[in-house]
Amino acid sequence: MEIRLSRKEFLDLLVSGSVFAGRNKVVSMFDNVRLNIGGSGITIWSMDGDCSMERSMELEDFAGDIDFCVNPVGLIKLLRLVKDSYVALDILDSVLVVRHSSGQMEFPLESSVDFPRMAKSGGDTSYEVLSEVLYGWVQMSKNFVSADSLRPIMCGMYLGFSGGKVTMCATDTRVLLTDSYLDRDIVGDVSAVIPTSVFGALLDLLNGTDRVKVRIGSTNVAFKAGGSLLVCKVQNGKYPAFDRVIPTGNDTSASIDKATLTDSVHRAMLSADKATQLLRMSLRGVEFGIVGEDLAFGRKSQETCMCSHAGSDLEIGVQGDFLLKCLGAVGSADVELTFGTPSSPIVIYDKESQDKRILLMPMLLPS
C-alpha cells in the first residue's frame, strides 16, 4: 500500500530521529534506524548503545502496521534534493520505494526484530521541567563541562531535584556554573549527569516545547516532550559537592557593564601570553583595570572600566578565555564580580537570576 506524506515533515523526522545512527562503529545494526508506520503515525528510533532517540509524526488515513530498519543516510540525501511538497512510500519485497514527481529510488530494508532497545531502568522518579530553562542550561553548560575522559562524571551537566528545587551544575574544576529554580512539587532527592554526547539531541527535543518530563532511574535518564523520547545511560560516579566550594564570604565586589568589560577583556588578550592567557585585574576605587602582557614579545595592553566598588582594593590574576566563558553565561546588562583573597575563587553573579552563580578560579600573579 502506497503512503503519501509531506516531504518536509518526513525529512525533519528522519534528521531529528536518526541522531544516534552511525555513532557506534562496532555494531552495524546501529547504522540503521527503525521505522514503524501504523495507526495514526510514523515513529522512528535510533540508537548507539548508550543513547536512544524516539520521534513521531502524525499520519492520516493509513490502516496497517509496517515495521522495518533502513539506513537513513540515502533517504535524507534524496529528500533534500527532491523539491516536491509530497512524496510516496511503498514497501515491496524488503525494499522501500520512495516516489516523487520526477522518478523514484529504492532502498534495501532489514528486519526490525534484531534492532535493540534500551534496557528499562529501575526505581524511576519523574518530574516536569520548564523547557526554556533546561534549554538555556544545556546551551551554557557546553562551555563549562570537562573534556577529561579520565573523569567521565565531569563530562556532562548535573541535573538534580531536591527540597523543592531544580538545580544544575557544569564544571571542569577551573570554572563552574550553577543555577536553580523553585518548584514546590519537587520532593525526595534524585539527580543525574547528562553527557555532552546528547546535548544536541536534547536541545532539538526541547525546542518549541513548554515543559519536558524528566525520568531518572538507576541506569537511565529519559526526557519526553510531545512525540519525542530521548534516553541515555546515567554516568557512573558521584558528582562533586559543588555547593561547598562556592565561597560565601567574598567581601569585595565590583559591578560593571558586561559589554564594556567583555570588550576590554578581548582587547587585553591581544597582548597576553598565548600559553597562559594570564590577565592582571586590579580594583582601585571606581576603576577596574585589566592588563595583558607578553614579556617575551614586548607586548602590553592596559584597559580601564568604570565600576561600582564595595570593599577593599585588590589585584588578582585570571585566565582570559575562562573569564570570557563566565561573562558569556551572564544574561544581565551589568555583571557583579565578588572577591575574597587573591587565591580564592571569584564569584560572578547574573542580576537577572538570583540563583545563578559562576565560579572562576584565579591564577597566581608573577612577583
pTM of the model: 0.89
5's grid cell: 506524506
**Could you tell me the sign of the dihedral formed by the alpha carbons of 197, 233, 19, 159, in that order?**
negative
CB 34 within 8 A of CB 112: yes
DSSP 285-348: TTEEEEEEEETTTTEEEEEEEE-EEES--EEEEEEHHHHHHHHHT--SSEEEEEE-STTSPEEE
Number of H helices, E strands in the chain: 6, 25
The DSSP call for residue 10 is H
* Per-residue model confidence as pLDDT tens for the chain (367 residues): 788 899 999 999 999 999 999 999 888 899 999 999 887 789 999 999 999 999 999 887 666 788 999 999 999 999 999 999 999 999 888 999 999 999 999 999 999 988 988 776 666 888 999 999 999 999 999 999 999 888 889 999 999 999 899 999 999 999 999 999 998 888 888 999 999 999 999 999 999 899 999 999 888 999 999 889 999 988 778 899 998 899 988 999 999 999 999 999 999 999 999 999 999 999 999 999 999 999 889 999 999 999 999 999 999 999 999 999 999 999 999 999 999 998 999 999 998 888 999 999 999 998 7
The answer to whether 291 touches 366, Cβ cutoff 8 Å, is no
β-bridge mates for residue 230, sequence order: 53, 223
Whole-number Å distance between alpha carbons of 146 and 25 = 24
User: Helix, strand or coil for residue 128?
Assistant: strand
